[in-house]
Amino acid sequence: MQARKQPLANQPFSRHKRNPHKKRRNSMKIKRIALMLLVVALLVPALAACGASGDSKTIKIGAMGPLTGDVAVYGIAATNGFKLAAEEVNKAGGILGKQIEMPILDEKGDVNEAVNAYNKLVDQEKVVAILGDITSKPTISVAQLAAKANIPLVTPTATALDVTKQGTNVFRACYIDPFQGEIMAQFAKENLSATKAAVIYNSGDDYSSGLKDSFAAKAAELGLEVVATESYAKGDTDFKAQLTKIAASGAEALFVPDYYNTVALIANQAKATGLTIPLIGV
Protein backbone atom coordinates (compact mmCIF):
# COMPACT_ATOMS: atom_id res chain seq x y z
CA MET A 1 0.00 0.00 0.00
CA GLN A 2 1.38 3.39 -0.92
CA ALA A 3 2.08 5.64 2.04
CA ARG A 4 -0.37 8.50 2.45
CA LYS A 5 1.11 11.85 1.55
CA GLN A 6 1.05 14.66 4.05
CA PRO A 7 -1.41 17.48 3.30
CA LEU A 8 0.41 20.27 1.48
CA ALA A 9 -0.16 22.67 4.38
CA ASN A 10 1.81 20.36 6.71
CA GLN A 11 4.82 19.91 4.41
CA PRO A 12 7.88 22.16 4.65
CA PHE A 13 7.90 24.63 1.77
CA SER A 14 11.55 23.80 1.06
CA ARG A 15 10.59 20.35 -0.17
CA HIS A 16 8.95 21.81 -3.25
CA LYS A 17 11.17 22.88 -6.12
CA ARG A 18 8.37 24.90 -7.66
CA ASN A 19 6.16 27.44 -6.03
CA PRO A 20 2.93 25.46 -5.31
CA HIS A 21 0.87 28.67 -5.15
CA LYS A 22 1.86 29.66 -8.68
CA LYS A 23 1.14 26.17 -9.95
CA ARG A 24 -2.27 26.23 -8.26
CA ARG A 25 -3.13 29.63 -9.74
CA ASN A 26 -2.23 28.44 -13.24
CA SER A 27 -4.31 25.31 -12.77
CA MET A 28 -7.28 27.36 -11.58
CA LYS A 29 -7.02 29.63 -14.61
CA ILE A 30 -7.07 26.67 -16.97
CA LYS A 31 -10.01 25.09 -15.17
CA ARG A 32 -11.92 28.38 -15.17
CA ILE A 33 -11.45 28.82 -18.92
CA ALA A 34 -12.55 25.25 -19.59
CA LEU A 35 -15.53 25.63 -17.28
CA MET A 36 -16.79 28.79 -18.92
CA LEU A 37 -16.40 27.29 -22.39
CA LEU A 38 -18.44 24.33 -21.19
CA VAL A 39 -21.12 26.65 -19.78
CA VAL A 40 -21.49 28.45 -23.11
CA ALA A 41 -21.62 25.12 -24.93
CA LEU A 42 -24.41 23.92 -22.64
CA LEU A 43 -26.50 26.89 -23.70
CA VAL A 44 -26.31 26.24 -27.44
CA PRO A 45 -29.50 24.11 -27.74
CA ALA A 46 -31.49 26.58 -25.64
CA LEU A 47 -30.21 29.52 -27.63
CA ALA A 48 -31.20 27.84 -30.85
CA ALA A 49 -34.74 27.52 -29.50
CA CYS A 50 -34.87 31.07 -28.15
CA GLY A 51 -33.28 32.73 -31.16
CA ALA A 52 -31.03 35.77 -31.15
CA SER A 53 -31.91 39.01 -29.44
CA GLY A 54 -31.18 42.51 -30.66
CA ASP A 55 -28.92 42.66 -33.72
CA SER A 56 -29.42 39.54 -35.87
CA LYS A 57 -25.64 39.10 -35.96
CA THR A 58 -25.38 38.74 -32.18
CA ILE A 59 -26.68 36.58 -29.35
CA LYS A 60 -27.03 38.40 -26.06
CA ILE A 61 -26.13 36.34 -22.99
CA GLY A 62 -26.37 38.17 -19.68
CA ALA A 63 -24.05 37.68 -16.73
CA MET A 64 -24.23 38.71 -13.10
CA GLY A 65 -22.18 38.42 -9.94
CA PRO A 66 -20.88 40.29 -6.89
CA LEU A 67 -18.37 42.72 -8.38
CA THR A 68 -18.37 44.77 -5.17
CA GLY A 69 -19.05 43.84 -1.56
CA ASP A 70 -17.81 41.13 0.79
CA VAL A 71 -17.56 38.34 -1.79
CA ALA A 72 -16.44 40.43 -4.76
CA VAL A 73 -13.32 38.30 -5.26
CA TYR A 74 -15.54 35.43 -6.40
CA GLY A 75 -17.68 37.55 -8.69
CA ILE A 76 -14.72 39.25 -10.33
CA ALA A 77 -12.98 35.92 -10.98
CA ALA A 78 -16.14 34.35 -12.42
CA THR A 79 -17.09 37.27 -14.67
CA ASN A 80 -13.52 37.47 -15.96
CA GLY A 81 -13.94 33.83 -16.90
CA PHE A 82 -17.27 34.61 -18.60
CA LYS A 83 -15.64 37.35 -20.67
CA LEU A 84 -12.66 35.21 -21.59
CA ALA A 85 -14.91 32.34 -22.68
CA ALA A 86 -17.06 34.68 -24.78
CA GLU A 87 -13.94 36.08 -26.47
CA GLU A 88 -12.69 32.58 -27.27
CA VAL A 89 -16.06 31.49 -28.66
CA ASN A 90 -16.39 34.66 -30.74
CA LYS A 91 -12.89 34.18 -32.19
CA ALA A 92 -13.89 30.65 -33.16
CA GLY A 93 -16.95 31.87 -35.07
CA GLY A 94 -19.48 32.44 -32.33
CA ILE A 95 -22.63 30.43 -31.58
CA LEU A 96 -24.82 29.46 -34.52
CA GLY A 97 -22.69 31.83 -36.56
CA LYS A 98 -23.52 34.76 -34.29
CA GLN A 99 -21.23 36.73 -31.97
CA ILE A 100 -21.86 36.75 -28.23
CA GLU A 101 -22.73 40.08 -26.64
CA MET A 102 -22.48 39.93 -22.85
CA PRO A 103 -23.82 42.64 -20.52
CA ILE A 104 -22.48 42.03 -16.99
CA LEU A 105 -24.19 43.45 -13.89
CA ASP A 106 -23.03 43.80 -10.28
CA GLU A 107 -25.43 42.36 -7.69
CA LYS A 108 -23.16 43.31 -4.75
CA GLY A 109 -23.63 39.96 -3.01
CA ASP A 110 -27.20 40.89 -2.09
CA VAL A 111 -30.42 38.98 -2.85
CA ASN A 112 -32.49 42.08 -3.67
CA GLU A 113 -29.74 43.46 -5.88
CA ALA A 114 -29.54 40.09 -7.63
CA VAL A 115 -33.26 40.21 -8.41
CA ASN A 116 -32.86 43.76 -9.72
CA ALA A 117 -29.95 42.69 -11.90
CA TYR A 118 -31.95 39.76 -13.26
CA ASN A 119 -34.91 42.00 -14.12
CA LYS A 120 -32.66 44.48 -15.89
CA LEU A 121 -30.96 41.75 -17.92
CA VAL A 122 -34.29 40.27 -18.98
CA ASP A 123 -36.49 43.36 -19.38
CA GLN A 124 -33.98 45.95 -20.62
CA GLU A 125 -31.09 43.99 -22.10
CA LYS A 126 -33.39 41.31 -23.57
CA VAL A 127 -30.91 38.50 -22.93
CA VAL A 128 -31.77 34.95 -23.99
CA ALA A 129 -29.77 33.27 -21.22
CA ILE A 130 -27.93 34.18 -18.01
CA LEU A 131 -24.59 33.12 -16.53
CA GLY A 132 -24.74 33.42 -12.74
CA ASP A 133 -25.31 34.02 -10.01
CA ILE A 134 -22.18 33.16 -8.02
CA THR A 135 -23.20 32.44 -4.42
CA SER A 136 -26.11 30.21 -3.44
CA LYS A 137 -28.70 32.50 -1.84
CA PRO A 138 -28.85 35.11 -4.65
CA THR A 139 -28.71 32.31 -7.22
CA ILE A 140 -31.77 30.59 -5.76
CA SER A 141 -33.71 33.87 -5.90
CA VAL A 142 -32.93 34.55 -9.56
CA ALA A 143 -33.29 30.87 -10.49
CA GLN A 144 -36.92 31.00 -9.33
CA LEU A 145 -37.55 33.90 -11.71
CA ALA A 146 -35.63 32.30 -14.57
CA ALA A 147 -37.60 29.08 -14.15
CA LYS A 148 -40.93 30.92 -14.45
CA ALA A 149 -39.72 32.81 -17.53
CA ASN A 150 -38.10 29.68 -19.02
CA ILE A 151 -34.79 31.51 -19.44
CA PRO A 152 -31.73 29.23 -19.32
CA LEU A 153 -29.56 30.01 -16.30
CA VAL A 154 -26.18 28.44 -15.50
CA THR A 155 -24.27 29.08 -12.29
CA PRO A 156 -20.57 28.17 -12.19
CA THR A 157 -20.26 28.14 -8.41
CA ALA A 158 -23.55 28.07 -6.44
CA THR A 159 -23.43 24.75 -4.58
CA ALA A 160 -26.68 24.67 -2.55
CA LEU A 161 -28.92 21.73 -3.44
CA ASP A 162 -31.98 23.95 -3.98
CA VAL A 163 -30.37 25.86 -6.85
CA THR A 164 -31.18 23.35 -9.58
CA LYS A 165 -34.49 22.33 -7.99
CA GLN A 166 -36.04 25.60 -9.18
CA GLY A 167 -36.58 24.43 -12.76
CA THR A 168 -35.40 22.22 -15.60
CA ASN A 169 -33.76 25.23 -17.25
CA VAL A 170 -31.49 25.92 -14.25
CA PHE A 171 -28.04 24.31 -14.34
CA ARG A 172 -24.79 24.32 -12.39
CA ALA A 173 -21.23 23.58 -13.51
CA CYS A 174 -19.77 22.61 -10.14
CA TYR A 175 -20.14 20.17 -7.26
CA ILE A 176 -22.80 20.48 -4.54
CA ASP A 177 -22.77 21.18 -0.80
CA PRO A 178 -23.13 17.54 0.35
CA PHE A 179 -20.01 16.54 -1.57
CA GLN A 180 -17.89 19.23 0.08
CA GLY A 181 -19.15 18.56 3.60
CA GLU A 182 -18.71 14.81 3.22
CA ILE A 183 -15.14 15.16 1.97
CA MET A 184 -14.23 17.41 4.90
CA ALA A 185 -15.64 14.93 7.41
CA GLN A 186 -13.69 12.18 5.70
CA PHE A 187 -10.52 14.31 5.76
CA ALA A 188 -10.92 14.99 9.49
CA LYS A 189 -11.41 11.31 10.24
CA GLU A 190 -8.88 9.73 7.88
CA ASN A 191 -6.18 12.36 7.41
CA LEU A 192 -6.26 14.10 10.78
CA SER A 193 -7.20 10.94 12.73
CA ALA A 194 -9.79 12.97 14.62
CA THR A 195 -12.39 11.16 16.73
CA LYS A 196 -14.21 14.33 17.79
CA ALA A 197 -14.99 17.43 15.74
CA ALA A 198 -16.72 20.77 16.12
CA VAL A 199 -18.49 23.03 13.64
CA ILE A 200 -18.97 26.79 13.62
CA TYR A 201 -21.23 28.09 10.85
CA ASN A 202 -23.34 30.99 9.57
CA SER A 203 -26.96 30.12 10.40
CA GLY A 204 -28.28 32.73 7.96
CA ASP A 205 -26.42 31.46 4.90
CA ASP A 206 -27.63 28.56 2.73
CA TYR A 207 -24.09 27.66 1.71
CA SER A 208 -22.70 27.52 5.24
CA SER A 209 -25.74 25.74 6.70
CA GLY A 210 -25.79 23.16 3.91
CA LEU A 211 -22.15 22.30 4.45
CA LYS A 212 -22.71 22.00 8.19
CA ASP A 213 -25.53 19.51 7.63
CA SER A 214 -23.62 17.35 5.15
CA PHE A 215 -20.52 17.35 7.36
CA ALA A 216 -22.56 16.22 10.38
CA ALA A 217 -24.31 13.45 8.42
CA LYS A 218 -21.06 12.04 7.04
CA ALA A 219 -19.34 12.37 10.42
CA ALA A 220 -22.05 10.22 12.01
CA GLU A 221 -21.59 7.62 9.28
CA LEU A 222 -17.82 7.54 9.85
CA GLY A 223 -18.00 7.43 13.63
CA LEU A 224 -16.63 10.96 13.96
CA GLU A 225 -18.41 12.52 16.94
CA VAL A 226 -19.51 16.14 16.51
CA VAL A 227 -19.16 17.40 20.08
CA ALA A 228 -19.98 21.08 19.45
CA THR A 229 -22.03 22.94 16.85
CA GLU A 230 -21.92 26.71 17.21
CA SER A 231 -23.62 29.29 14.99
CA TYR A 232 -23.37 33.01 14.27
CA ALA A 233 -25.31 35.53 12.22
CA LYS A 234 -24.28 37.21 9.00
CA GLY A 235 -22.19 40.27 9.76
CA ASP A 236 -20.95 39.03 13.14
CA THR A 237 -17.30 39.77 13.83
CA ASP A 238 -16.87 38.51 17.40
CA PHE A 239 -16.74 34.72 17.72
CA LYS A 240 -14.93 34.41 21.05
CA ALA A 241 -17.93 33.00 22.94
CA GLN A 242 -18.48 30.23 20.40
CA LEU A 243 -14.77 29.44 20.18
CA THR A 244 -14.47 29.24 23.97
CA LYS A 245 -17.22 26.60 24.03
CA ILE A 246 -15.52 24.70 21.23
CA ALA A 247 -12.19 24.79 23.08
CA ALA A 248 -13.87 23.20 26.10
CA SER A 249 -15.65 20.52 24.05
CA GLY A 250 -12.68 18.26 23.46
CA ALA A 251 -12.91 18.61 19.69
CA GLU A 252 -9.83 17.56 17.73
CA ALA A 253 -10.74 19.41 14.52
CA LEU A 254 -12.90 22.44 13.71
CA PHE A 255 -14.92 22.68 10.50
CA VAL A 256 -15.51 26.30 9.38
CA PRO A 257 -17.80 26.37 6.31
CA ASP A 258 -17.93 30.01 5.27
CA TYR A 259 -16.33 32.56 2.96
CA TYR A 260 -12.69 33.57 3.27
CA ASN A 261 -13.26 36.95 4.97
CA THR A 262 -15.26 35.47 7.84
CA VAL A 263 -13.03 32.42 8.13
CA ALA A 264 -9.99 34.70 8.50
CA LEU A 265 -11.62 36.43 11.47
CA ILE A 266 -12.52 33.11 13.07
CA ALA A 267 -9.01 31.73 12.55
CA ASN A 268 -7.38 34.77 14.14
CA GLN A 269 -9.75 34.70 17.11
CA ALA A 270 -9.31 30.95 17.52
CA LYS A 271 -5.58 31.50 17.89
CA ALA A 272 -6.14 34.33 20.37
CA THR A 273 -8.49 32.09 22.35
CA GLY A 274 -5.78 29.46 22.63
CA LEU A 275 -7.49 26.99 20.31
CA THR A 276 -4.76 24.92 18.66
CA ILE A 277 -6.73 22.18 16.88
CA PRO A 278 -6.71 22.09 13.04
CA LEU A 279 -9.24 24.30 11.25
CA ILE A 280 -10.62 22.85 8.03
CA GLY A 281 -12.84 24.42 5.38
CA VAL A 282 -13.69 24.49 1.70
Residue 7 lies in a domain: no
Residue at a domain's end among 172, 194, 227: 172
Are 44 and 100 in contact by the 8 Å Cβ rule? The answer is: no
CATH number of the domain bearing residue 190? 3.40.50.2300
Does residue 248 register a pLDDT over 80? yes
Task: Indicate the length of the chain as a whole number.
Answer: 282
Q: Number of folded domains in the chain?
A: 2
Q: What distance in Å separates the CA atoms of residue 226 and residue 215, rounded to the nearest whole number?
A: 9
Q: Are strands 225-232 and 254-255 parallel, antiparallel or unpaired?
A: unpaired
* 27 and 154 assigned to the same domain: yes
Are 186 and 218 in contact by the 8 Å Cβ rule? The answer is: yes
Mean pLDDT value of segment 160-166: 94
Residue 265 lies in a domain: yes
What global pTM score does this model have? 0.76
Residue at a domain's end among 128, 157, 172: 172
Q: What distance in Å separates the CA atoms of residue 246 and residue 260, rounded to the nearest whole number?
A: 20
Are 198 and 227 in contact by the 8 Å Cβ rule? The answer is: yes
For residue range 108-154, list pLDDT tens digits in order: 999 999 999 999 999 999 999 999 999 999 999 999 999 999 999 99
* 192 and 159 assigned to the same domain: no
Residue 11 lies in a domain: no
Residue 6 lies in a domain: no
